[in-house]
Every structure is written in C-alpha cells, then in structure tokens.
Amino acid sequence: MSNVQNNKSPLVHAILDAYRLGEEDEALKPIVMVDKTGQPLGRMQNGDYVIFYDIRGEREIQITESLAQAGFDAFPVKQDTLLNFVTMIEYSSELDVQVAFSPLGRIENTLSEVVSNAGLTLCKIAESEKAVHVGYFMNGKNEKVFSGEERIVVPSPEGIDSFALKPEMSACLVRDEICDKLKETDCPLLIANLANVDVVGHIEDRGAVIKAVETVDQELGRIVETCREQGVTLVVTADHGTVEEWLYPDGQVNTGHTKNLVPFVLLDFAVPEPSQHILRPEGELADVAPTLLVLMGIPKPSEMSSESLLQDPILESPSGRRILLLILDGWGLRDEEQGNLIHASQTPNFDKIWADYPHAELLAAGEAVGMPADTVGNSESGHLHLGAGRRILLDRVRIDKAIGDRTFYQNPAFLWAMENARKDKRSLHLLGIVSHYSSHGSIDHLFALLKLAKELEVDKVYVHALIGRRGEKPESGAVYLDKVEKVCQALSIGQVVTVMGRFWALDREHNWDRVEKAYRALVYGEGTPAS
C-alpha cells in the first residue's frame, strides 16, 4: 500500500480519503473525475460505445437494462441517450446488445431436465439472494423452467445496508417452506439452498459470520428431523467453501471463497437403516446429480459423464422415494482451526450427521468446476456442476484461451465497437470489475481490451471501474486502480474516470435505488469529484 500512498492520482487519493472516512471497497460511493471547472469527464453520452467486460452475468443484467434497453422505466433515465452496447458474455437473451462470447450451446440433460423428462415433479426453494443459482445456473445457465419444476423464492431481508445487521437473513422462512413441502407426498425431488454462510461470509464481521453459521446449523437440525419423520432421503452438500478459511496466513480477513473440499452427507430415511450406504470417500460436485438419479431409479443420460458416489448396489429404488438436496451455501471443510469460523461456531447438528451418516468430501474449486487450476470455487460454478453432472468449462477459461491465442483480438463484437467508435468519433467506455480474480471478471480482460483499442487507434477511451473486496485484502481497490492507471499510461491510451463499489452496480434483487446511483454516476457524473 505504501506505493499507492505515494501515488499522485486524484482518483487513488479520493479512494484513500474514503477509506479514512470508514468506507470500504464493496460499498464505496461513486467517485468521478472532473476537469478544472468541475465538469465530469468521460460520461456515457448518446452514440457512444460501451463494452461491459464482466462475466457470470446475473448481477450485470439490471445495470445493462438501464443503460441499453429502450423503454426502461424502473427509474428515470436520460432521454435521447442511445448507447451502442457490447457485453462480454450473454447476460440475458432478452437484452438487445452485441455479445462477444456467445453461449456455445445449451447444456443438455441437467438434473432438472432429466427429472422433468421422467414425468416427475421437482421443487426448488431459496432466498431471493440465491434463487438464480438453484434456478438458472443449476439448469445449465438455461432460462427455461422445465415442465413440473416449481420454484419458491423467499424474499431476502430488505431495507438494510448490510446483511451483517441480520445474519439470520430469511433462513427460518426458507426452512418453513422446506418443511411444508416435505410434508407433501407428490414431489419426488426438492432442492433447497441456505444462503447465510456465503452471503454473510463476504462481510468483515466475525460475530455476524458466526451467527450466520449457527443459524444454518440450527435450521439444518430442524430439517433433518422433518426428513426423518417423513421418511425423506436427505442429501447435504455445499457449492464451495468460504468462512472455514476466513483469515489469510498474515491474520488479515479473507472475505472470499476458498479452494477447500465441501461435504456430502447421505441420510437415507427412506430405508430401515439410514446409515447403510457405502460412499466413495472422495468425489466432486458433478458427482452429485448422478448419485441422486441412482437414488431415484432414473437412468443417467449419456451427457452426464460423472459417476455416482454410491458404492453399494441399489437394485430398486424404494417406491415413492422422495429426496431433499440441501445446499449449505459456502460451507467448506478444513481441519485447521486458525481462521476457521465454522470450527469457531457451535454446529452440533452438522457435527452429528457428519459423525453418524455416510459422507464424502467433494472437490468444489479449480478444474473440477470448470475453472483454471488452483483457483477458488464460486456459487455460479458450484450450482452449475451440481446440476450438470459433468465438468463444464466456464466462460473465464474460454476468454483466457482467446487472449492466449489472440482470437480475442479478432472478436467481431469488440471490433464492431472499437472501429465504429473511431469512425464515428465517439467515446469508447470499458465498464467492469477491477480485480485480479473475481467470479465476475478479471483485470486481465480489461488490459486486453485496452491493448486492442491501442492497436485500432481508438481516440477516446474511458474506464469505469467497479471494485469489491471478495477474496481481496483490505483496501485493495486503490491498489488495483493504481495498476489500471499505470497500464493506461504505459499504453498511452485510456483514462479511468469512474470508480465505485460493486454494491451499487451489481445488484440482482431489483434494488433499483442502488442501480440508479451507479447509472447517475456513469451518465451524469454524480459522485465525489476527483480533480
């Protein structure tokens, strides 16, 4: 941080001032560059070209709608402002934008589709914070709701600035919905998500994180008892780890995801001896779907290349077997106690099922979930692989490969935006996450776009940086902005003109007040001035 402290950049100094006033990266209020007269620089104006280089997509839809969709009316937007818009991947098929890396094709025969095609019903229950994961991502990044698929979305708490203020979130309401559904007998498969550990784990508040862990454990205990009473087969797992490694080796807080294994526990209350099954001791998330299909007596489709975790033969599924797949979002496994907030919490219910029932440890990071080797997992890749039953290469790998073989620099969507910006004498805006490694994007993708703009001799290039500390050290936003500005200087192209926390722009809960704040910074230049 010392080099950043000595930086003369107005934006870096504005960020450091915000830190001193108690702001942090994720919720950093917008800061905008202004000229000597106080006028904001590099705002998005009618006819300009925008490349939103984020990946993943579900948090990017709302801000894209406000900037690119005609007739948008969730909040007032600047009239007669038409932007020529490119997104890195497809955020939604309904967006009228150019897409640089279009989907390679539909992921056929995910768990949901196979169950639906078998003529069976399934139900998915989650807080609104995680509804897109058990829906869109678990269905193979498919917007379709399959025949017989019911979705129950419990609203996450509203009107609070941080879930640290309510680490219980809506877990008790999710549990009520799960238990009510378990008492019905006409739904063979129920999939549910308890969101607290992951969501609250991204906040630097130890007490809130422990409360979140203990809340999930408490609700787990109640769900186990209902499954026992109803004779329902319960499978407990997670999509990735988080708070089991909440400290870096130097003692600083790590609010990001981890590379650790996650649990798989089978409590088969549909048979007289629930602990009778023999499981492979190790596997990966993609093994979960084939395991569930074996338990349901449904043949595994050829597309599912992963294998069941069950080692004992199940010749016939009990008639009317019902299954609950319960995802403890962010619950990782780690023996070390240092920085392990799951160990630091009271978790009698998880401890009991881990001790008493067949269990396995699953890979949930790196190549096992379609990510580069030795990288952390995330909710997108986790739920995608839980549903797909096979390894799926994520968009990040495609894009990194394209940069490596230089096909990135021939991408038609990028060329369209940059060549027309030069020809029309319009500004080119590069909008996205500024982080070494976020599930929403990479600083390397921004650098590649800047290099391409340099090659194509685009005149006016402006960078609008979104920062957010998930898996980053404190005050890393200033460090990353410093790196971006130095690359712009080295290439003699581009200027960072906006920086704000991802909290404002990357919303997925229709908190339009947040999105409007981001919009007004990008278009009108509203925010803390840096000059």
Q: Quick one: tokens of 172?
A: 């008790």
Residues 406 and 371 in one domain: no
Residue 449 lies in a domain: yes
Q: What is the CATH number of the domain that holds 426?
A: 3.40.1450
Picking from 361, 384, 407, the residue at the C-terminal end of a domain is: 384
Residue 155 lies in a domain: no
Per-residue pLDDT at 7 exceeds 80: no
Segment 112-151, tens digit of pLDDT? 999 999 999 999 999 999 999 999 999 998 888 999 999 9
Residue 134 lies in a domain: no
Residues 323 and 406 in one domain: no
Q: What is the CATH number of the domain that holds 303?
A: 3.40.720.10
Count how many domains the chain has: 2
Q: Which domain holds residue 26?
A: 2-102+397-530
If you average pLDDT over residues 366-370, what whole number do you get?
95
Residue 253 lies in a domain: yes
Segment 26-78, tens digit of pLDDT? 889 999 999 999 999 999 999 999 999 999 888 899 999 999 998 999 999 99
Whether this prediction's pTM lies above 0.85 is answered by no
Residues 371 and 457 in one domain: no
Predicted pLDDT at 274: 85
Predicted pLDDT at 313: 67
Residues 221 and 326 in one domain: yes
Residues 207 and 338 in one domain: yes
Residue 116 lies in a domain: no
Residues 331 and 427 in one domain: no
Predicted pLDDT at 473: 67
If you average pLDDT over residues 423-429, what whole number do you get?
97
Per-residue pLDDT at 439 exceeds 90: no
Residue 354 lies in a domain: yes
Residues 216 and 364 in one domain: yes
Residue 131 lies in a domain: no
Are the beta carbons of 426 and 99 closer than 8 angstroms? no
Burial class (CB in 10 A: 0-12, 13-18, 19+), 85: buried
Residues 270 and 340 in one domain: yes
Residues 416 and 367 in one domain: no
Q: Sort strands 495-501 and 31-33 into parallel, antiparallel or unpaired.
A: antiparallel
348-356's contacts with Cβ under 8 Å and 24+ in sequence apart are: 348/217, 348/221, 349/217, 349/218, 349/220, 349/221, 349/224, 350/217, 350/220, 350/236, 350/263, 353/220, 353/224, 353/236, 353/265, 353/267, 354/263, 354/265, 356/275
Residue 144 lies in a domain: no
Residues 402 and 451 in one domain: yes
